Amino acid sequence: MGNDGGSIPTRRELVKEAAKSLTTTQVKEVQTERQEYGWSNDPLTREPLAKPIMSESSGILFNKQTILEYLVQWDASDARKIEADKLLEGRVKSLKDVVEVKFEVEENQKTLGSAAVGRTERWICPITRTELGPKSKAVYLVPCGHAFAGSVVKEVSGETCLQCNEAYAENDIIPILPTSATDIARLGLRLKTLQEKGLTHALKKAKKEKKDKKRKNGADEGENGEAKENDRKKDRMPKEAPVGNDGIKNASTAYLTKKVLEEQEERNKRRKLEQNENVKSLFHSRDAKPDAKNSADYMTRGFSYTKR
């Protein structure tokens, strides 16, 4: 190599440059595109959004038909079901986990910039009459679902809906398609708090998860067989009799117990008599005279001598 008119590439030229992070302008452009798509199309079916519109706890908008199909029709092996599970992350298990967002539609509809691929309705704030979309921060209230511009809810005092006068808590103001990390974290904390209280996103009582029938009646065939065997043993046992004075229901058991107690009591009496006799044998009465043989000198015991 070399001296042939060519050039030798250096390591810097051979190694690919690392992917550069997006600039602030590029990040804003990506967020704007996502916002425009989210405000105009259903994220699961890619169809244009049309009333009735549903939203779950994270503020994402869906067509009601899509939610119904997700809960009822789509199988676990369906690609749409898999994609929906990744997006929803278990936040939607029933219709109690979603709220119908009630947008006010302007009568004189105007064509939107994304009308060719998205919705054709023009949603507006009923108070400010401004359009609700990717360029304006919008919120809806739980549980009534009425949508307003975000600034209206902050400026207007009170905790009742401006359209239906239904009461709501400050934490039940849900931003639509939030981009702020603070809003996203607050919504996640709100859902966790509601779940601990046994409530859903719509502030309805959550259904208790049904236990598996196999787990309830026996987790497997072995447990089922053991339960059946126990039932057979119970059938072979004698029928219970009315409760007696001693608190034992079974008549035969009560009779045996009584007999055993009587025998034990008799043995205790005999044992006490034997102990008393043994104790008496250790003492003698005062009237009794001691035996002369016992009083003899121990030096001469066992010996005898004759008189001379």
Query: pLDDT band at 114, cuts 50/70/90?
Result: very low
Interior CA angle at 258 toward 253 and 260, to 5°?
95
138 contact partners, CB below 8 Å, separation of at least 6: 125, 132, 147, 148, 149, 150, 175, 176
Backbone angles phi, psi at 138, to 5 degrees: -125, 155
- Whether the per-residue pLDDT at 198 is higher than 70: the answer is yes
- Give the C-alpha separation, 94 to 99, whole Å: 11
Do residues 153 and 163 touch, judged by C-beta distance below 8 A? no
Partners of 174 in the β-ladder? 140
The CB-side HSE value for 238 (13 A sphere, CA atoms) comes to: 9
Q: What is the pLDDT of residue 210?
A: 60
- Whether the per-residue pLDDT at 225 is higher than 90: the answer is no
- Whether the per-residue pLDDT at 135 is higher than 50: the answer is yes
In percent, the amount of the chain with pLDDT more than 90 equals: 38
- 43-47, 109-113, 239-243, 261-265 — which one is most confidently predicted on average? 43-47
pTM reported for the whole predicted model: 0.60
Q: What is the mean pLDDT of the chain?
A: 78
Task: Classify residue 101 as exposed, middle or buried by CB count within 10 Å of its CB (0-12, 13-18, 19+).
Answer: buried
Residue type, 159: E
- Whether the per-residue pLDDT at 185 is higher than 80: the answer is yes
Q: What is the pLDDT of residue 115?
A: 41
The CB-side HSE value for 39 (13 A sphere, CA atoms) comes to: 29
